[in-house]
Amino acid sequence: MAVIVMLSQQEILEELSKNLKEWKDKYGVKRIALFGSYTREEQTETSDIDLLVEFKENAMTFDNYMDLKFALEDIFQKQVDLVIFDDIKPALKPIIIRSAKYAEGA
């Protein structure tokens, strides 16, 4: 039987902060934030991790997006829903931004 480890909001934010500088250099990430069930502390064992990413100008490429998504899923060993800041539907933007908790880092 597989052991399922529940990640906490704090553990996710610490991991994001720890890797932020590398992701800025490697993928052109400007900012990354946690939102959704983990910020509301309503996550379950089957919850995916909702992340909001903002790329530096001209850094948003398919390869950068997919490579970052795969890196995040490798780190967390969970499905990651990686939402691009500029692509959020206008009706959802205030809700997502209000709940977003940004990674700290260089």
Tokens found for residue 76 = 């967390």
Confidence grade of residue 1 (pLDDT, cut at 50, 70, 90): very low
Angle between helix 62-76 and helix 9-27 axes, rounded to 10 deg: 150
pLDDT tens figures, 8-52:
999 999 999 999 999 999 999 999 999 999 999 899 888 999 999
Residue 1 lies in a domain: no
Residue 65 lies in a domain: yes
pLDDT of residue 5: 62
Question: Domain range holding 37?
Answer: 9-102
Count of domains for the chain: 1
What CA–CA distance (Å, rounded) separates 74 from 94? 30
Residue 54's DSSP bridge partners are: 31
Residue 75 lies in a domain: yes
CATH of the domain at 57: 3.30.460.10
State the greatest distance between any 2 C-alpha atoms of the chain, in Å, as a whole number: 45
Helix and strand numbers, DSSP H then E, in the chain: 3, 4
pLDDT of residue 4: 55
pTM above 0.85, yes or no: yes
Residue 35 lies in a domain: yes
What CA–CA distance (Å, rounded) separates 48 from 95? 18
- Judged against a pLDDT cut of 90, whether residue 56 lies above it is answered with yes
What CA–CA distance (Å, rounded) separates 105 from 20? 6
Report the run of H or E that residue 82 belongs to, with start and end: strand 80-84
- Judged against a pLDDT cut of 60, whether residue 98 lies above it is answered with yes
